[in-house]
Amino acid sequence: AAVVDPVEEQFWRTVQEGDLQQVARTLGLEVTDALGEVVPALSAWRQAGKERATVDGWRYRVVWQPRELPAAGSLHGTWLLAVPETWTDDELTLRTRDALTKAGADVVRLDVPDNADRVVLAERLAALTSSGEPPAGVLSLLALDGAPDKRSSGVSRGLLASMALSQALADAGLVTPLWAVTRGAVVAGATTEAPDAGQAAVWGLLRVAGLDDPERAGGLVDLPAGDDAHGLLPRLTVLLSGHGAEGAGERGRETEFAVRAGGVYVRRMVRSPRDEGPTTARPGWKPRGTVLVTGGTGALGAHVARDLAREGAEHLLLTSRRGPDAPGAEALREELTALGCRVTVAACDVADRAALAALLDGVPEELPLTAVVHTAGVVDRARPFTDIDADEAVDLVHAKVVGAQHLHELLAGRPLDAFVLFSSGAGVWGNGGQAPYAAANAHLDALAERRRAAGLPATSIAWGAWAGGGMVDAEVGEQLLRRGVPAMEPGLAVRALREAVADGDTTLVVADIRWDRFVPAYCAHGHRPLIDDVPEVRDLLARRHEEEAAGQDDTTAADGLRGELAALPPAKRRRRLVDLVRTHVATVLGSGDGVRTGKAFRDMGFDSLTAVELRNRLGSALGTRLPATIVFDHPTPNALAAHLDDELFPEDEAPGTVLDPRLREIEAAYRAAADPAGRQELADALRGLLDSWTASPGDPASTAAPAHTGDPAHTDVDEELVDASDEDMFDLIDRELGIS
């Protein structure tokens, strides 16, 4: 942080408070009318400067930087080449197979039928890999199938096939890197070609898949759309061989490449403050005529509408599915009318092309449509990539993409001052658990590039979270806050929007990112080079390297905890590990509310990044490396603590050594019950038994010896029974009765 002069800080505080007497005393002046005019002007100037610095601190953009590569690379082992069945004889497919073979790979083709689901693909993967070692890698050409899915014109078959393949690899238990090839998905190098929005969506989807399932993350490679892609395939094999990551060192492995005739490019996010001189300020976009705001009665649309009304919009056309019947719509209309703006609130689903066309035809001739701000869309709760089915993915992408596509097509011939799309940072850096949403937003960014290439106005802004709701729901907003992306003040966010339109920006990232918190969460699986050129990230990495070089990676605390645990009896050690897990769960979630030993981590709000953060914390506390999937493999604090106990202290396993012989028959009966009904019956009986033990303070059966001094406090049994499954129930009995 910059050093602040306390005297200067006090002076400006006095100015902003408008205290003329104190300002005069500070400057050694008399209070005059001139000073009364100057102080408010200084206060406004100071406030404007602070707001300018705030907004500039939110602005980033994505650039592509050249990367040097060797002329050739060697591949080894078997590579699966996933190809749409309709593309098996395509020239690019044949040349890709030849390139892999020449590089030394044994290529096995995986033909993927139209509309294939993950179950079918998992079966085919199992059949192809049943007789030998897992493949060295999987190269997917599935994204190249740009035909629309029958459920939505805004979702390609290639997108859904890419999702199904990634999920099927996990379903089949194949831990092998997945690489995906696209053509013309990104704008990189010296090219004026417009990107393919459908293939750009695949980048957004698989970017999140790589966060959710890093053990199977290979990379994304974009080839040019023209015929010169065929001659560039040798560079593809260089990337597959791992040479693309060389030189990244401690910074992390590159995973996103654009291969062009001029070379290979890698993707970076860089700061992009507005270029203003010290004494001049360029105005933002000034709305006029009719401005259409889709999702206009929602939180985001309302923020935008208020700002546009204050800035001079003559007529605001606000749409939503419910229109005037939407909650708060009438109050918003009255508020905007009081600002001097004519307001129309209309019910219209912009994904309905005919309804949207009728709405546009109804715009008054005296106030022609001059701008569109498309805020409409659906934000889903974060879920692991493998938990999302194809129908859900179609619905999520359709809701955000199809309306934008209809607006683009219906307004292509109208002169507009602005065509603004609300995108999201999920499509730029990827939010764990939001793969379809990231795909939709990457599609919008590419659509803006296509419009700009056609000479049409377009600005797509990838937002972080907005305060006051709208951009994300409460759950996602809380996750973003934990990851270092707090909500932005809406007034300043809309200011950034109007400035981007005035400057002719095509794509822009506007997000408040606290890098000291963002980097550890985002780079939980290893550092990601996307953010290498952000100054704060460079400083964080430099400090980390200095600490490592100075030997400050102290393992004394971890050794001490391991020794303390090893000295405990098995039952006490298990309870101590449960407490350790719960403590770190509460830290990761920011609260201990709802952290129960028998409750699933996913039900507590865990996603892939928070799961890895918990893994890292426990690994650091215990001085051991833990697998990335440990939280999902052992889905409750009880189960995770038991796993840690078994892994760290195997010498104490000795089953049954401390189990009361009178309980062994119960355990055997429970374990032996094959049918769910039998296990449920026994579990219910055990619950009743526990209830009788904890009946009432006056009941002799509930009397228990006081806890030993220094023992970890017992979790209330009734609390743990609320969400306990049968397995969690028996684990609870194990712990309470001292079963090792």
Mean pLDDT of 62-91: 91
Report the candidate in 429, 377, 375 with the shortest Cα–Cα distance to residue 60: 429
Least confident of 323-337, 434-448, 672-686: 672-686
Whole-model pTM: value is 0.78
| Model confidence band, residue 600 (pLDDT cutoffs 50, 70, 90) | confident
Q: Which residue has the higher pLDDT, 476 or 384?
A: 384
Q: Per-residue pLDDT for 409 more than 50?
A: yes
How far apart (Å, rounded) are the C-alpha atoms in residues 107 and 136? 10
Q: Which of these ranges, 140-149, 159-168, 239-248, has the smallest mean pLDDT? A: 239-248
Per the model's pLDDT, the better-predicted residue between 696 and 687 turns out to be 687
Cβ pair 200, 420 in contact under 8 A: no
Q: What is the pLDDT of residue 517?
A: 85
The token pair at 173 is 């238990």
Residue 4's pLDDT is: 62
Q: Say what percent of the chain tops pLDDT 90.
A: 50
pLDDT of residue 699: 46
In this structure, of 138-147, 181-190, 450-459, 685-694, the range with the lowest mean pLDDT score is: 685-694
Could you tell me which residues come within 8 angstroms of residue 345 by beta carbon, excluding any fewer than 6 positions away? 296, 297, 318, 319, 320, 323, 324, 326, 329, 330, 332, 333
Give per-residue pLDDT as tens, 243-263.
665 544 444 589 999 999 889
Q: How far apart are CA 659 and CA 737, in angstroms?
A: 7
What are residue 219's DSSP bridge partners?
179
**Residue 441 token pair:** 């937003």
Residue 460 to residue 446: CA distance in whole angstroms: 9
pLDDT at 542 over 70: yes
605: left (phi over 0), alpha (psi -120 to 50) or beta: left
Q: Which two tokens stand for residue 564?
A: 């303390």
Domain 68-270: assigned CATH number: 3.40.50.11460
User: In angstroms, rounded to a whole number, what is the distance separating the alpha carbons of residues 620 and 617?
Assistant: 5
Please report the pLDDT score of residue 505 as a whole number.
96
Question: Residue 396 carries which side chain, given as an amino acid letter?
Answer: L
46 exposed, middle or buried (CB, 10 Å; 0-12, 13-18, 19+)? middle
Spans of all domains in the chain:
6-55, 68-270, 287-513, 558-696+706-737
Supply φ then ψ for residue 267, to 5 degrees.
-95, 135
Half-sphere exposure of 290 (CA within 13 A, CB side): 21
Find the helix or strand (DSSP H, E) in which 237 lies.
helix 233-240
- List of E strands, 516-589: none
Other CB atoms within 10 Å distance of the CB of residue 551:
7
Tell me the HSE value of 379 on the side-chain side, using a 13 A CA sphere: 25
* pLDDT at residue 724, rounded to an integer: 47
CA-only gyration radius of the chain, Å: 30
Categorize the per-residue pLDDT at 36 as very low, low, confident or very high, splitting at 50, 70 and 90: confident
Strands (E) located in 21-173: 59-67, 78-84, 106-112, 137-140, 148-149, 152-156
Range with the poorest average pLDDT among 111-125, 162-176, 361-375, 672-686:
672-686
DSSP 3-state of 715: coil
Q: What percent of the chain has pLDDT over 70?
A: 82
pLDDT value for 108: 94
| CA–CA distance, 717 with 688 (Å, rounded to integer) | 12
Write down the pLDDT at residue 621: 85
The pLDDT of 423-428, averaged and rounded, is 93
Residue 144 has pLDDT above 90, yes or no: yes
**Are 68-270 and 287-513 equal in CATH topology?**
yes
Beta pairing, strands 178-183 & 137-140: parallel
Residue with token string 């078994």: 646
User: Strand, coil or helix: what is 426?
Assistant: helix
User: What's the distance, Cα to Cα, between the start and end of the chain in Å?
Assistant: 51
Q: What digits encode the pLDDT tens for the residues 278-308?
A: 545 678 899 999 999 999 999 999 999 999 9
Q: Is the pLDDT of residue 721 over 80?
A: no
The domain made up of 287-513 has a fold known as Rossmann fold (3.40.50)
Under 8 Å CB-to-CB from 113, ≥6 apart: which residues?
Answer: 85, 120
Query: Mean per-residue pLDDT for 418-447?
Result: 93
CA–CA–CA angle 619, 622, 624 (5° rounding): 55
Domain at 558-696+706-737, CATH class: mainly alpha
- What's the mean pLDDT in 413-423? 95
Does position 48 have pLDDT exceeding 50, yes or no? yes
Confidence at residue 698, expressed as pLDDT on a 0 to 100 scale: 46
What single-letter DSSP state applies at residue 315?
A: E
Element containing residue 370 per DSSP (H, E): strand 369-374
Instruction: Confirm if 443 and 397 have CB atoms less than 8 A apart.
Output: yes
In terms of pLDDT, which residue wins out, 379 or 461?
A: 461
Cβ-contact 157, 149 below 8 angstroms: yes
Average pLDDT over residues 48-69: 92
CB burial class (10 A; 0-12, 13-18, 19+) of residue 474?
A: exposed
- Rounded-to-integer distance, Cα 310 and Cα 256, Å: 42
- Mean pLDDT is lowest, of 52-61, 167-176, 368-377, 687-696, for 687-696
CA distance 541 to 539: 5
Query: Which residue's entry shows tokens 């199904």?
Result: 164
Region 560-577: mean pLDDT is 86
Tokens encoding 50: 């602070």
Name the residue with higher pLDDT: 410 or 602.
410
- The pLDDT of residue 490 is above 70: yes
Which of the two residues, 621 and 78, has the higher pLDDT score?
Answer: 78
Report, as an integer, the average pLDDT of 398-407: 94
Check residue 656 and give its pLDDT: 43
Q: Is residue 726 pLDDT above 70, yes or no?
A: no
Average pLDDT over the chain, rounded to an integer = 84
Backbone angles phi, psi at 94, to 5 degrees: -65, -40
Q: Which residue has the higher pLDDT, 213 or 546?
A: 213
Helix (H) or strand (E) run with residue 587 in it: helix 570-589
